[in-house]
Amino acid sequence: MKELYLIAAMTEKRVIGADGKIPWHIPQELGLFKKLTTGNIIVMGRKTYESIGRPLPDRETIVISSGNIEGVTTYRTILDAVRAGERSDKKLFFIGGADIYNLTVNIVSHMYISWVKGKYEGDTYFPEIDFLQWREAEKTYFDNFTMVHYTRPQSSSYSLM
Ligand SMILES: NC(=O)c1ccc[n+]([C@@H]2O[C@H](COP(=O)([O-])OP(=O)(O)OC[C@H]3O[C@@H](n4cnc5c(N)ncnc54)[C@H](OP(=O)(O)O)[C@@H]3O)[C@@H](O)[C@H]2O)c1
């Protein structure tokens, strides 16, 4: 069973998005996202893909959608994406948005969360989860955010998907 990853940036109130976009611009945080995901597989919801507007360079992009999107690999279910990950030796990162986090937060064993400082308003939230079930493997402080790498044993529910 392959280990799965999730990466997100959120405020302490779990805000991840506003009006289809990310409500902050923190280049250093984007740099970390790029460093972690480059060379790997990124899986996102159709709305997140539309907000980015193109496949990100040097990464294999998978979009989850009930429709077909030109120019990018599209799967109808998370399980299809996980199977594609199993066939690859690359890491697979779920990169949002809220729909995708809701569907995957229970099957990943690594989460990279950037806790963004500031009171940003939003309309899209990371799911409410019990962080006590996660171990802080690494924590790095930056001016505008703190990046925490959380780990836990691979969830057995993954094999039941
Ligand atoms: N802060 C962060 O780290 C971060 C990261 C990523 C995104 N965001 C933000 O999050 C917001 C977007 O999140 P969102 O939750 O609205 O949208 P989303 O998760 O990006 O995409 C939702 C779409 O994914 C497809 N989908 C979801 N579940 C599906 C399923 N079970 N089967 C088939 N298709 C499925 C559907 O596409 P179809 O309608 O085409 O079927 C659905 O409309 C934006 O504001 C974005 O900027 C923030």
From 150, 151, 146, select the one nearest 29 (Cα to Cα): 146
Cα angle 77, 78, 83 (rounded to 5 degrees) comes to: 105
pLDDT band at 1; cut points 50, 70, 90 = confident
**Residue 143 to residue 130: CA distance in whole angstroms:** 26
Chain segment 98-151, per-residue pLDDT in tens: 999 999 999 999 999 999 999 999 999 999 999 999 999 999 999 999 999 999
Distance, CA 127 to ligand 1 centroid (Å)? 13
Residue 98 CA: nearest ligand 1 atom is 15
Q: Any idea where the domains of the chain sit in the sequence?
A: 5-151
Kindly state if the Cβ of 147 falls inside 6 Å of ligand 1: no
Distance, CA 25 to ligand 1 centroid (Å)? 19
Q: Please name the CATH architecture into which domain 5-151 falls.
A: 3-Layer(aba) Sandwich (3.40)
Chain segment 18-62, per-residue pLDDT in tens: 999 999 999 999 999 999 999 999 999 999 999 999 999 999 999
Nearest-CA residue for atom 35 of ligand 1: 65
Nearest-CA residue for atom 37 of ligand 1: 65
Give residue 69's pLDDT.
Answer: 95
